[in-house]
Structure 1
Amino acid sequence: MTTGLLISVVDDDDSVRVSTEGLLRSLGYAVRGFDSAEAFLGSDAVGASACVVSDVQMPGMSGVDLKTALSAQGIATPVILMTAFPNDATRQKAAAAGVSCFLPKPYQAQALIDCIETALAA
């Protein structure tokens, strides 16, 4: 595994964000957390992130909107989306936006690790 790469975690749920950050740090990644897509997009982490792990449903911009905004700026950073409300319509929107992986919450740690490793290898 390549360590030291920056992974940004975007989730308005503090407990999910903090636990995801802890998991990724334990694997050797550098991690920055953001409580909204807007906070992430306004940060210097946008160009520095090797991967973004984001919730789908958040106040303001959704995770799908976040991926769309990155793509519109020509930023090809892989985005992994997580949602407590997985459904086919959201999954299809995420796929159409070019999301790397789509996980239901609560996610299994190994499933997230596999998604990140696949996204970083692409």
Structure 2
Amino acid sequence: MTNPNRQQIIEAHDALKKLENAAWHGGEDWHSTHWKNLILAALPPKPPETMADIEWEDGRHYLAEAETEDGIKVVMISQHGDFIRCTQPPNSGDVVIGLPREELTPTGRYYTPTQPQDN
């Protein structure tokens, strides 16, 4: 078996889905399910979407958490070209860094800004 890259794996999964849709006439049967499972067993898992696969939306991505390829959690602030401005709470303070879109995978978590409470 070859060693497919990320894009080839995604394209293989997409092709499988298209093949399944094309072959599906009126309902799934045992054969189509069996063949699909054989193909999926041979394919590596489909990689999660990165921010390179997703169009930036302020309302959806501002203050959303993402994970880098190294497993570091960051908070996305804005997109600037092929980079996303991020910060890494609580360690970074006010430091903002630009990370390549293809290196960030959204986690589905969000941060909410709050005001400090006076005692």
| TM-score, scaled to structure 2 | 0.24
State the structure with more CA Rg: 2
* Larger helix share, 1 or 2: 1
| TM-score, scaled to structure 1 | 0.24
